[in-house]
């Protein structure tokens, strides 16, 4: 699967910019699932199947699986997405960033071991730490730029040559790292003014936008400040607000409704 092509097809065919984050927390699972031996996979599979038609991508967070010893569930979940919902891409949220053979092995982990279509990476160590990912021309490389967390400005706002560091990242990735046309930037919904600044620097580069829903990002501001001229260019991620929209036997239906509501809310401003 070519990630960028698949993403654009989802934007157009399914008329959606919603990315469903898959961050399993068993304590929040419905009671009937919590004690089941394969609860992580069963919960996430039900969410995937209920939200697929409203999603342009899924984004499993690797730490939520690894902390539970559920790497096999993650592997099977990604395989299930590809089998049951062909053409719907998966972004592995692992925020990798290292050098040399370590970076190469992280790329193998994401793309060969788990079969992800894209991966999040940290640019702090420079281009050589991202190059093993960038070399996979058919895969997406989602580079942290202006993240949604409250402390993001501690380093990202530091001035270098009169501009904050995150702007240098945006420009460098868009105009130097994107030779294969497979880069995206992470820009948080919690910083709408910065979102507009990054869009001005990055042209039509797609953005992964976390921070709506539980983190309080404003959907209208995200679309108005971050969308490209054709009303796309955004992968707007929501995790908890969709995953845990319901806690009863109908939890998957509740998640599906939440994903559709977010899709419709986003589309009102496109």
Angle, helices 100-108 vs 127-134, to 10°: value is 30
Question: Whole-angstrom Cα distance, residue 145 to residue 165?
Answer: 9
Contacts of 76 (CB under 8 A, 6+ apart): 41
pLDDT in tens, the chain (270 residues): 799 999 999 999 999 999 999 999 999 999 999 999 999 999 999 999 999 999 999 999 999 999 999 999 999 999 999 999 999 999 999 999 999 899 999 999 999 999 999 999 999 999 999 999 999 999 999 999 999 898 999 999 999 999 999 999 999 999 999 999 999 999 999 889 999 999 999 999 999 999 886 667 799 999 999 999 999 999 999 999 999 999 999 999 999 999 999 999 999 999
CATH number given to 3-268: 3.20.20.70
pTM of the model: 0.97
Active site (annotated) includes residue 224: no
Contacts of 255 (CB under 8 A, 6+ apart): 46, 47, 50, 51, 242, 243, 245, 246
Please state the φ and ψ torsions of residue 213, each to the nearest 5 degrees. Answer: 80, -120
Catalytic annotation, pick one of 28, 95, 139, 224: 95
Residue ranges per domain, the chain? 3-268
């Amino acid at each position: 699967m070519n990630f960028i092509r698949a993403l654009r097809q989802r934007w157009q065919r399914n008329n959606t910019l919603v990315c469903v984050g898959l961050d399993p927390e068993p304590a929040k699972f419905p009671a009937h699932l919590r004690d089941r031996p394969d609860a992580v996979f069963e919960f996430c599979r039900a969410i995937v199947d209920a939200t697929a038609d409203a999603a342009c991508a899924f984004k499993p967070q690797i730490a939520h699986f690894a902390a539970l010893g559920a790497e096999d569930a993650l592997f099977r979940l990604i395989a299930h997405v590809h089998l049951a919902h062909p053409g719907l891409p998966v972004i592995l949220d692992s925020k990798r960033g290292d050098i040399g053979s370590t970076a190469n092995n992280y790329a193998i982990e994401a793309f060969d071991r788990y079969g992800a279509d894209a991966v999040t990476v940290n640019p702090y160590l420079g281009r050589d730490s991202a190059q093993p990912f960038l070399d996979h021309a058919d895969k997406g490389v989602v580079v942290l730029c202006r993240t949604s967390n409250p402390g993001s400005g501690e380093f990202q706002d530091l001035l270098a040559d009169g501009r904050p560091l995150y702007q240098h990242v945006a420009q460098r990735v868009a105009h130097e790292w994107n030779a294969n046309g497979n880069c995206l930037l992470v820009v948080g919904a919690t910083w709408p003014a910065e979102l507009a600044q990054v869009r001005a620097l990055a042209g039509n580069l797609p953005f992964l936008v976390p921070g709506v829903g539980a983190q309080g990002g404003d959907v209208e501001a995200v679309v108005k400040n971050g969308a490209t001229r054709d009303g796309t260019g955004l992968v707007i991620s929501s995790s908890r607000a969709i995953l845990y929209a319901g806690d009863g036997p109908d939890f998957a239906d509740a998640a599906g409704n939440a994903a559709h509501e977010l899709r419709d809310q986003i589309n009102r401003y496109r």
